[in-house]
Amino acid sequence: MKADALRGHLDPMILAVVEHEPLHGYAIMEALLERSGGELDLPTGTLYPALRRLERAGYLASEWSTVGGRKRRTYQLTSAGQKMLATGKSEWDAFRAVVEGVLRPRGASGQA
């Protein structure tokens, strides 16, 4: 998958992954990989800054813990994050409709 394609779509995807259960960064990476059927393999240089961005924006809240000697920073969705996720989903639907309307127009005046 091309890198640019993700632009602006990654944030809601991350929020969606922690919607029902808080997860730490590494687990979020694995969840994205699994939900995408192995397609979405984020580099750490993408994920961790994104998580900090989302926390700074108030959509995620984090908490440190130690499990088996390893430090984890666990993120959970805030209420603002829930709203943002809902917004993101409907924005995705709108975006998808736009792209498909252009890529595969049907009906009235689109076709030559």
Partner DNA sequence: CGGTCATATGTAGCTCAGCTACATGTTGCC
Partner DNA sequence: GGCAACATGTAGCTGAGCTACATATGACCG
The binding site for DNA (CB under 7 A) comprises: 3-4, 6-11, 24-27, 42-46, 48-53, 67-74
Give the number of C-alpha atoms closer than 13 A to the C-alpha of residue 111, restricted to the C-beta side.
Answer: 5
From residue 6, give the alpha-carbon distance in Å to each of 10, 21, 46, 88, 106: 6, 23, 11, 13, 27
CA nearest to 16, candidates 85, 80, 63, 62 = 85
- Token pair 């792209």: residue: 99
Q: Which is nearer to DNA, 1 or 112 (CB)?
A: 1
Say whether residue 4 binds a copy of itself (CB under 8 A).
Answer: yes
Q: Which is nearer to DNA, 2 or 106 (CB)?
A: 2
Q: Which is nearer to DNA, 3 or 108 (CB)?
A: 3
DSSP bridge pairs for 76: 61
Looking only at residues 28 through 47 of this chain, which bind a copy of itself when binding is defined by CB under 8 A?
Answer: 31-32, 34-37, 39-40
From residue 42, give the alpha-carbon distance in Å to each of 1, 21, 50, 75: 11, 20, 11, 17
Residue 43 interacting entry, from a copy of itself, DNA, none, C-beta within 5 to 8 Å by type: DNA
- In the complex, what is the shortest distance from the CB of residue 74 to a copy of itself, in angstroms, rounded to a whole number? 14
Binding site for a copy of itself (CB under 8 A): 1-9, 12-13, 16-17, 19-21, 31-32, 34-37, 39-40, 88-89, 91-92, 94-99, 101-105, 109-112
